[in-house]
């Protein structure tokens, strides 16, 4: 597709349930980022992939959060035993990385709004 | 990791007023600097970016930003705002990963 695609756009779940959020980056973009944005806040960094591997996962808040990108394209953010505090918009972004240089600009998806009741 | 500080939480201006939004960062190494904008109901979009060279960079819609290395600042400016500039503005700093500030909400009154 032309842009970064995220599904679902909205997810309502109950406390304690498991949730998966999917991101389909722009074709050819090797770098993929996950952020979390709460109301009135800036995007909070979660994890960054370069290809299939997580280059930096220092932003994942705890071991309930996990992300994969098995083929270096689509990524899934997985949240176990959801808590009410996990409610936020989860943003995915991708960027182009060539010849050891990341062009820097991130292209964002529309986000997945997660509500934990 | 780098951190980003935006000084103004909410700015209210009348149309045609001049705008300056502050951004400071803390990181000792080489960084790339960005301003992103989020219009109501839309996703984040790039406004402008600085990689190297002329520290005064021009972006879309008449926005510009100046990188002052000695002050670790990258303030956003626009000489004359319009009602359509009402949005949330985020400063971002990139070393390996990209870190964002908390954002400044701009309201432009017609």
Q: Does A1 touch chain B (CB under 8 A)?
A: no
C-beta separation of B48 from B63 below 8 A: yes
Q: What's the CA angle centered on B58, arms B28 and B55, to 5 degrees?
A: 35
Number of Cβ within 10 Å of residue B24's Cβ equals 18
pLDDT value at residue B9: 92
Q: What is the pLDDT of residues A79-111, one digit of tens each?
A: 999 999 999 999 999 998 655 555 578 899 999
Interface touch A48/B97, C-beta < 8 Å: yes
DSSP character string of A38-93: -TTSPPEEEEEEETTEEEE-TT--STTEEEE-TTSS-EEEEE-S--GGG-EEEEEE
Distance CA(B105)–CA(A40), nearest Å, equals: 9
pLDDT value at residue A105: 83
Interface touch A35/B103, C-beta < 8 Å: no
Interface touch B97/A43, C-beta < 8 Å: no
Nearest-Cα distance to chain A for B42, in Å, is 7
Closest residue to B96, CB basis, from A35, A56, A59: A56
B6 interaction partners in chain A (CB closer than 8 Å): 42
Interface of A with B in 98-117 (CB under 8 A): 102, 104-106, 108-111
Cβ neighbours of residue A82 under 8 Å, at least 6 residues apart?
Answer: A13, A14, A15, A16, A17, A18, A19, A64, A114, A116
Q: What is the pLDDT of residues B50-103, one digit of tens each?
A: 988 899 999 999 999 999 999 999 999 999 999 999 999 999 998 878 899 999
pLDDT value at residue B59: 93
- pLDDT beneath 50, residues of chain A: none
pLDDT value at residue A55: 87
């Amino acid at each position: 597709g032309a842009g970064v695609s995220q599904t679902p756009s909205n997810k309502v779940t109950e406390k304690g349930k498991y949730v998966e959020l999917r991101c389909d980056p722009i074709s050819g973009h090797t770098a993929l980022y996950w952020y979390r944005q709460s109301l009135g806040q800036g995007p909070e960094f979660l994890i960054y992939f370069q290809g299939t591997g997580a280059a930096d996962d220092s932003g994942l808040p705890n071991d309930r959060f996990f992300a994969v990108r098995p083929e270096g394209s689509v990524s899934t953010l997985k949240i176990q035993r959801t808590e009410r505090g996990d409610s936020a918009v989860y943003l995915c972004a991708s960027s182009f990385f060539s010849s050891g240089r990341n062009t820097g600009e991130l292209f964002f998806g529309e986000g997945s709004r997660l509500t934990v009741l | 990791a780098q951190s980003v500080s935006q000084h103004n939480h909410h700015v209210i201006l009348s149309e045609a007023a001049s705008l300056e939004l502050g951004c400071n960062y803390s990181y000792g190494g080489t960084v790339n600097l960005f301003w992103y904008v989020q219009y109501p109901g839309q996703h984040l979009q790039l406004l402008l970016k600085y990689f190297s060279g002329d520290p005064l960079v021009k972006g879309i819609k008449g926005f510009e930003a100046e990188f002052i290395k000695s002050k670790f600042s990258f303030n956003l400016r626009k000489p004359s705002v319009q009602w359509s500039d009402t949005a949330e503005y985020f400063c971002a700093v990139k070393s390996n990963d990209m870190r964002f500030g908390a954002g400044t909400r701009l309201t432009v009154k017609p």
